[in-house]
Amino acid sequence: MISLDNLRKRSGLLMGGIGVAMGAFLLGDLMSSGSSLLNGGQGVIGVVNDEVIDYRDFETEAQNLDRIFNSRQDRNVLRDNLWNDKVNDVIMSEQYSELGLAISAEELAGLTFGYKSAEMSTTAKQFFGITGQDVSAAQLAGVVQQIHDNDPQRWMYFENVIRKERLGQKYVNLIRQGLNASNIDADVYYNEQATQASGRYVFKAFDTNIEVSDSELSSYYASHQEDYPQSASRELSIAIFDITPTQADKKATKARILDLVEDKLVYNKTAKSNETVNGFKTTTDAVAFVNTYSDASFDASFYAEGQLSPAIETEMRTAEVGFVYGPYEENNSYKIARLNARRNDSVQVAIIEIAMDASEETANEIYAQASEMAAAIDAANFEALADEKNVALIAATVQDADRTISGLGEARNLVFWTYNENTELNMVKLDDQNSRIVVMMLTSVSAKGTQALEEVSVQVEIAVKKEKSGEALIAEFNSQLSSAKTIDDIATAMSLTTEQVNTMAFSSNAIPGGFEPNVVGAFYGMEKGQLSSPVLGNNGVYVVYADDFIASTAPKDLTALKKQLEGQLQPRANFEATNALKALADIEDNRAKFY
């Protein structure tokens, strides 16, 4: 039996363990929220079906949840999950109210700690870290009471999660109960799967060289604009100036580390005399020497054979204590190594390393180059300067909620700049990122709507040619069908080859020539011995002839098949209903203005 002390300790820590199961109630990145409120802290973070989600309320709940989860969750993901929970609350509360779904106090007690029953929620068991009858109801009640009294906010959160979880289950179960397969469903499904068709077809491919006029392209585009949607986005042209050391910088670093190896004579201004300063070879305190001159602190570990860097493994194994090796290059640093001590078969090595960083002079020169780029007045000028400085430009498309930018990685601050109301076309941003300087220009702004014809001209031309050629081919086939009696007559008249199809299933959606669901449907829409009208396919126009259909007799007892269909159908209730409600909801998401 689990001890009550452990239960009490775990109740506060196990919240993270159920984070996935109850992830709809999460949040994060509180540290960055205050600094990113470009529109002030009193705005509206979103509106769902006319219900306003106020930023201040959202952030207050965020802070409470951050405390409950001990800041262990990924901040961006948690904030997104909190938003999703808010959206679900509004949408699903409307559904629950209309259906009369509710959770009674007694039902909630049973779900929470198994009151009067063994129906404790799986989530509750995870919260308490118990299984089955690990503790008695009386003992568990004592722990529950203690949490309730000492941390009521945590307890209210826990109860709310259990309540939402059960309401969601009730809603889904109602939908599942209505998703049943009838004998007719089972019989149709069986026939579709078991009936095999065989036949022949003739095919003529679309003419991709057919001429189309500008007016035809414009007309097609005007009547099919829904096929070319465009999300709101902005285009950036980006130049990256990496601050890397020159050969002169590397040479200076090497000279600096070499200067540490040998003793040197220095003038002591206080004593007004020369004195000898020990180098790395002769120092009596290698630990202090390393900690004074190296970029990395002294490592006191003893390493067995094969555990040292390959660059010094052999030298340190065979040398005498006090031996100094180097300088050598490793991990973008110059290093010198001294055998400091031996212990049995292990060795301790004192290593001084100095990174081969760019000098201040080099960094300033690179910054000056970047600053010249940042003075560009338009895209053409920006490109010309990039050519002049031999810097490759990166084109990137960003949307207001993006956290990364292609070529840059995590760059939420730069996305904020891109969408700032004061940022205009051809404006330039210079961002000093320590090891690199990013210079980017806003080159284009695209509103939500339809892509311009110029941007989709290739797709439109292909579609128009397919449509125009298809109409011509259908007319050509119809002219032959008026006199032809068999499919072979059509093939001969049009100099085409008859193709054979054997044992084709309705669910295949494919013929030997490729994916052609319209052609498969044409076969199954005819009687045996029937010749079809022209069929517009994906690759051209077809005429098909049904030779035969081989059907299997459906079983008398369709129970097993109905269960199979219901097993495929009912799980869809777990997500499709909610997704459909979200698609129908009026959701205004302003998170990108705040985070």
Mean pLDDT for 228-251 is: 94
pLDDT at 70 exceeding the cut of 80: no
The pLDDT tens digits of the residues spanning 158-192 come to 888 888 888 988 998 888 888 888 888 887 777 77
* Global confidence as pTM: 0.64
pLDDT at position 212 is: 94
The pLDDT tens digits of the residues spanning 311-350 come to 999 999 989 999 999 999 999 999 999 999 999 999 999 9
Q: Considering only CA atoms, which of 430, 434, 442, 433 is closest in space to residue 368?
A: 430
pLDDT at 289 exceeding the cut of 90: yes
- Where is mean pLDDT largest: 20-24, 215-219, 273-277? 215-219
pLDDT at 474 exceeding the cut of 80: yes
Mean pLDDT for 367-390 is: 95
Mean pLDDT for 437-448 is: 94
pLDDT at position 216 is: 95
% of residues, the chain, pLDDT over 70: 88
Q: Is 61 exposed, middle or buried (0-12, 13-18, 19+ CB in 10 A)?
A: middle
Distance CA 541, CA 513 (A): 12
pLDDT at 541 exceeding the cut of 90: yes
CB atoms closer than 10 angstroms to residue 96:
16
Mean pLDDT for 454-461 is: 94
The pLDDT tens digits of the residues spanning 388-423 come to 999 999 999 999 889 999 999 999 999 999 999 899
Tell the residue number behind the tokens 């929220």, with chain if given: 33
The pLDDT tens digits of the residues spanning 499-531 come to 999 888 887 888 888 899 999 999 988 889 999
pLDDT at position 176 is: 85
- Where is mean pLDDT largest: 80-89, 262-271, 454-463, 565-574? 454-463
pLDDT at position 496 is: 95
Confidence band, pLDDT 50/70/90 cuts, at residue 140: low
Higher pLDDT, 103 or 214: 214
Alpha carbon of residue 117 to chain centroid? 42
Mean pLDDT for 365-375 is: 95
Q: Considering only CA atoms, which of 544, 543, 536, 542 is closest in space to residue 466?
A: 536
The pLDDT tens digits of the residues spanning 76-105 come to 777 888 999 999 999 999 999 999 998 888
The pLDDT tens digits of the residues spanning 29-46 come to 433 444 444 444 458 999
Give the pair of three-digit tokens for residue 317.
């194994």
Cβ partners under 8 Å of residue 31, min gap 6:
75
| Spatial contact of 88 and 22, defined as CB atoms under 8 Å apart | no
pLDDT at position 137 is: 61
Confidence band, pLDDT 50/70/90 cuts, at residue 380: very high
Average pLDDT, the chain: 85
